[in-house]
Structure 1
Amino acid sequence: MARDAPPEVLTSRLGYLFKHAYLRLTEESARALAPYGIDGRELAVLAVLDAHAELSQLEAAGRLGVDRTTMVALVDTLEGKELVERRRSPQDRRKNIVRLTPSGRQRLHDAESARQEMERRFLAALSPSDATRLFAILQSLVTAPAPSERVPDAT
């Protein structure tokens, strides 16, 4: 479906551009991940769990930047799909350790390949060097302190 060109008055606004780029990206992501029966948030959980030998639900929630209730719902869903399993921590019986199942590890591998290909197609309008620069710029924006937290220069 062809999209109408946005009004020029909006295309000079950072918020508008970020929002609409994000909406397109999430649409493409949903389409790419649909064959694997997971969404982007679930893929992120699988990726974080795979990157760490042992994480509790709470630790995983912290890494993902989601609240405890959201994390429980995500793990419940992934457990229902047999992609993760919960186990009591041998060190602290109050903690649930969440691990990928073998099918979860395979699903992560397959879905990550689809995600990477989708991102490559999404960024195809950019030159490879511009795509690399965009990633670097976005990483800087995400990892830098919020403007309200920055100390003003004393000069």
Structure 2
Amino acid sequence: MPHTESQLINLYEHPGHLLRRAQQISVSIFYDEMGDELTPVQYAILRNLAGHPGIDQVSLSAVTGIDTSTGATVCARLAEKGLLTRTVIPTNRRQRALTITPAGEQLLQDLIPGAQRLRRRLLAPLTGPEQLQFMELLTKLVQENNEQSRAPLATRENS
């Protein structure tokens, strides 16, 4: 081990621990700003569905970066809430084509101010240039480590 490398005795030197804490903080602020009608994962699924009408559940899970069983459960809950519809795909009866409902579209529209406040609050401790750098580095970290995930994020073209 190089002399300058930490032995990582302090838990707060572990990037994974800090990322977990950042996620806890992000979820807490999410509920403060967005209310409790949707969970963060439900919001992500619905937001991605709005941009990919007619996508199937497996592909929607992949472009959201969640596993397919979680995606199916989340889609079922969103359908129960009347925020999306699930239609059997005739060529693959095990798959469902998804469409956001007008109520789902309206909810997403109503949540835009909360999402903007969430982003501002989460990044508030950083200066403007630091916010840009943080987002660039966080994006790079996620993209470069994508294949290490249990549910690698897929682009629409790959799914």
Which of the five TM-score ranges fits, normalised by the shorter chain? Answer: 0.7 to 0.9
Letter in 1 for 2:85: E
Please give the per-residue CA displacement for 1:8-60, whole angstroms capped at 9, x wherever unaligned: 9333332332222221111111222225x111100000111111132011111
Letter in 1 for 2:48: V
The 1:82/1:19 distance shift into structure 2, 3 A limit, reads same
CA distance in 1, matches of 2:69, 2:22: 28
Q: TM-score, normalised by structure 1?
A: 0.79
Gaps of 5+ in 2: 1-8, 149-159
CA distance in 2, matches of 1:108, 1:88: 25
Structure 1 position 104 matched with structure 2 position 104: yes
CA distance in 2, matches of 1:31, 1:69: 28
CA distance in 2, matches of 1:97, 1:64: 16
Aligned residues: 139
Q: TM-score, normalised by structure 2?
A: 0.77
Structure 1 position 18 matched with structure 2 position 15: no
Question: What residue is the counterpart of 2:87 in the other structure?
Answer: 87
Gaps of 5+ in 1: 1-7, 149-155
Following superposition of structure 1 onto structure 2, how do residues 108-119 of structure 1 map, counting pairs within 5 Å?
Answer: 108-119=108-119
The 1:12/1:68 distance shift into structure 2, 3 A limit, reads closer
Q: Give the aligned CA root-mean-square deviation in angstroms.
A: 2.2
Identity of aligned residues (%): 24
Find runs of 4+ consecutive structure 1 residues off by over 4 angstroms: 145-148
Q: Which structure's relative contact order is higher, taking Cα pairs within 8 Å and 6+ residues apart?
A: 2
